[in-house]
Homo-oligomer: A and B are copies of this chain.
Amino acid sequence: MTTRVRALYDFSGEPATSELSITAGEILILTRTDVGEGWWEGTNAKGQTGLFPEAYVQIHKETAPAVNLPQQPRYDQAPDDYADQQDGWDDDWDEENDTYSEIGPPNNQIRQSASHQQINNYTNINLPPAPTEDTISITSTSAPLKRSGIFAKSGDSYILGTTTVSVPDNERTFIINTENGYFWKQIGDPYTVRVASPKKETKFKGMKSFIAYQLTPSFNNIAVSRRYKHFDWLHERLVDKFYLIPIPPLPDKQISGRYEDEFIEHRRVQLQEFVDWVCRHPVLSTCEVWMHFLTCTDEKRWKTGKRAAEKDNLVGATYCAAIFPPEKSLLQTQVDGQTENCSLFVHGMDGAVKSLLAISNEQTKRFQLQWKKDFQRVGESFSELARALEIDERRAITNINLSNSVGQTAGVFISIGQMFGDQPKSDWIPFCDRLHIYRGILGGFPDVLAVQRGAMQKRKECEKLTAEQKMGNAQLQEVNRRTDIMSYALLAEMNHFRAERDQHLKETMKNLISSQIDFYNQIITKLQMAQRYFE
């Protein structure tokens, strides 16, 4: 049977590519879902067939889910996209992720908002347009529901203490009370990890090639080689395990091929941001799966660790069993005040970050295209003037060289134009890369808040049951202790994020401003060169 899809948002396809422009509400016949890289192929009413982002459409009516369509050889085969079953190091990876160039179907809320962020993020790469306000709201309203659904499973059982899990010592996390509030306890020394410029690696005697990033931790200085799909796997593990910690986003899956080198370097920068953020987090930076990812160099050990991480019990709400906060119980009202304030703030900052990304994006384009052109045109007009003067000077008896001065000025303006074209690489683009983190984290907070709200709800139910003599006082105490743990975790995470954010934003602003100061100083130097010709 034919599968139809309805466009949720407008998407304008890149001209002269296999992409197809679609309009929100438009119905298309789905012709292929095995295109890969998060793209689907469809035919519109005009009979035009082409690719559009899967995330931009939804299956129409009760037609068979697209995933059930017969698999066909993949479209737009990229060198990194071959299945490589004989490749032990990489075996049983989800091949859908086995590429450094995807727009993946957002499979959790953090990715989703991350991929929206990406859409605003970067001009050098062809991407779908920024989604409408609706998209965002769809996301952040639907996600918590889904999440609390998942939570309900592990959550209730944890709160009610129906499941018991053993917590190995190395998994224990402590929350301490400082003068600045509750914080995750830092275990071990802080460290950094350098993500080095990626290199193309090959296997099967060059039959297969892919991009690998070199990660070098400061504590052992041993580089490991990781591909995007490894990061992607890690990210999923972290999201599953730490339901009360918003995980920083990965660079977005997206179409590569155009501007590939810039794209790869851009991705490296964003991976570095991700790694930095994890390294600075007391819990994430010490957890087992992260350490495994960061240090494992042996193929066999890699596979064992991978299996272990995937079988981990201490995930979701259950992980709270590993959290050890101060003894004293929390004042509910105080906690509520802080969580409400937090969600207000998250909403506000999410909006602000969105506008900043939009305007940075525009500024980037303006500098790279219009301003570069404008200054070069000024330069060209001056050289036209210089040529005219030169005609007359030929005849002049005195030795005039105004034409030379004007010609030199022409050159100055043309090179200023070039500077305008290059400048975004030094200010707005890095600025966007830094803000990328926030789109992810701010996108994650609503879930975390929902998780805690769910727990508080459960707690009230239990209080009611106890009032009705249907639950013992001892058990209620235990429920309160466990829900307090969740609140403690949330408070610790909020404080950690605040501290991180202040440092990180401060640097971000500082870099933006000083890079612009440098830029205008360079222009002045150039103009002063021109000025000297007219002294």
Q: Which of B345, B359, B502, B531 contacts A377 (CB 8 A)?
A: B359
CB atoms of B385 and A374 under 8 A apart: no
Residue of B nearest to A515 (CB): B527
The stretch that binds B, out of A13-21, A203-211, A402-410, is A402-410
Q: Which of B355, B378, B392 contacts A498 (CB 8 A)?
A: B392
The answer to whether the Cβ of A338 comes within 8 Å of any Cβ in the partner chain is yes
A402 contacts which chain B residues (CB < 8 A)? 502, 505-506
CB atoms of A388 and B349 under 8 A apart: yes
Given that A362-B374, A385-B349, A498-B392 are contacting pairs, would A534 and B520 also be in contact in the complex, using a CB cutoff of 8 Å?
Answer: no
CB atoms of A517 and B510 under 8 A apart: no
CB distance from A475 to the nearest CB of B (A): 33
CB atoms of A395 and B349 under 8 A apart: no
The answer to whether the Cβ of A331 comes within 8 Å of any Cβ in the partner chain is no
The answer to whether the Cβ of A179 comes within 8 Å of any Cβ in the partner chain is yes
Chain A stretch 476-535: residues in CB contact (< 8 A) with chain B: 498, 502, 505-506, 509-510, 513-514, 516-517, 520-521, 523-524, 527-528, 530-531, 534
The answer to whether the Cβ of A162 comes within 8 Å of any Cβ in the partner chain is no
A356 contacts which chain B residues (CB < 8 A)? 381-382, 384-385
Given that A505-B402, A520-B520 are contacting pairs, would A388 and B352 also be in contact in the complex, using a CB cutoff of 8 Å?
Answer: yes
The answer to whether the Cβ of A67 comes within 8 Å of any Cβ in the partner chain is no
CB distance from A508 to the nearest CB of B (A): 9
A520 contacts which chain B residues (CB < 8 A)? 520-521, 523-524, 527
CB atoms of B181 and A397 under 8 A apart: yes
Residue of B nearest to A382 (CB): B356
Residue of B nearest to A181 (CB): B397
CB distance from A287 to the nearest CB of B (A): 27
CB atoms of A395 and B534 under 8 A apart: no
Q: How far is the CA of A333 from the CA of B381 in the complex (A)?
A: 33
CB atoms of B506 and A180 under 8 A apart: no
CB distance from A331 to the nearest CB of B (A): 14
CB atoms of B384 and A342 under 8 A apart: no
CB distance from A377 to the nearest CB of B (A): 5
Given that A402-B506, A509-B405, A517-B527 are contacting pairs, would A179 and B397 also be in contact in the complex, using a CB cutoff of 8 Å?
Answer: yes
Q: How far is the CA of A514 from the CA of B180 in the complex (A)?
A: 52
Question: Chain A at the B interface: mostly helix, strand, loop or mixed?
Answer: helix
CB atoms of B355 and A388 under 8 A apart: no
CB distance from A145 to the nearest CB of B (A): 25
A362 contacts which chain B residues (CB < 8 A)? 374
Q: How far is the CA of A345 from the CA of B353 in the complex (A)?
A: 56
Given that A345-B391, A524-B521 are contacting pairs, would A530 and B513 also be in contact in the complex, using a CB cutoff of 8 Å?
Answer: yes
- Copies of this chain in the oligomer: 2
CB distance from A406 to the nearest CB of B (A): 7
CB distance from A378 to the nearest CB of B (A): 5
CB distance from A9 to the nearest CB of B (A): 22
A498 contacts which chain B residues (CB < 8 A)? 392, 396, 400
Residue of B nearest to A349 (CB): B388
CB atoms of B509 and A409 under 8 A apart: yes
CB atoms of A366 and B374 under 8 A apart: yes
CB atoms of B388 and A348 under 8 A apart: yes
Q: Which of B355, B378, B392, B510 contacts A342 (CB 8 A)?
A: B392
CB distance from A129 to the nearest CB of B (A): 18
Chain A stretch 339-354: residues in CB contact (< 8 A) with chain B: 341-342, 344-345, 348-349, 351-353
CB atoms of A514 and B502 under 8 A apart: no
The answer to whether the Cβ of A363 comes within 8 Å of any Cβ in the partner chain is yes
CB distance from A426 to the nearest CB of B (A): 14
A344 contacts which chain B residues (CB < 8 A)? 391
CB distance from A502 to the nearest CB of B (A): 5
A527 contacts which chain B residues (CB < 8 A)? 513, 516-517, 520
CB distance from A429 to the nearest CB of B (A): 15
CB atoms of A524 and B531 under 8 A apart: no
- Pick the most buried of A342, A510, A530, A534: most chain B CB atoms within 10 A of its CB: A534
Chain A stretch 315-349: residues in CB contact (< 8 A) with chain B: 337-338, 341-342, 344-345, 348-349
Q: Which of B359, B398, B405 contacts A381 (CB 8 A)?
A: B359
The answer to whether the Cβ of A389 comes within 8 Å of any Cβ in the partner chain is yes
The answer to whether the Cβ of A394 comes within 8 Å of any Cβ in the partner chain is yes
The answer to whether the Cβ of A387 comes within 8 Å of any Cβ in the partner chain is yes
Q: How far is the CA of A358 from the CA of B374 in the complex (A)?
A: 11
Q: List 18 A-B contacts (CB under 8 A).
A: A180-B397, A338-B395, A341-B392, A345-B391, A356-B381, A356-B385, A358-B381, A359-B374, A363-B378, A400-B498, A402-B505, A406-B505, A506-B534, A513-B527, A513-B534, A516-B527, A520-B520, A521-B524
The 7 closest A-B pairs by CB, nearest first: A348-B388, A352-B385, A349-B388, A345-B392, A352-B384, A355-B381, A510-B534
- A contact residues vs B (CB 8 Å cutoff): 179-181, 337-338, 341-342, 344-345, 348-349, 351-353, 355-356, 358-359, 362-363, 366, 374, 377-378, 380-382, 384-385, 387-389, 391-392, 394-398, 400, 402, 405-406, 409, 498, 502, 505-506, 509-510, 513-514, 516-517, 520-521, 523-524, 527-528, 530-531, 534
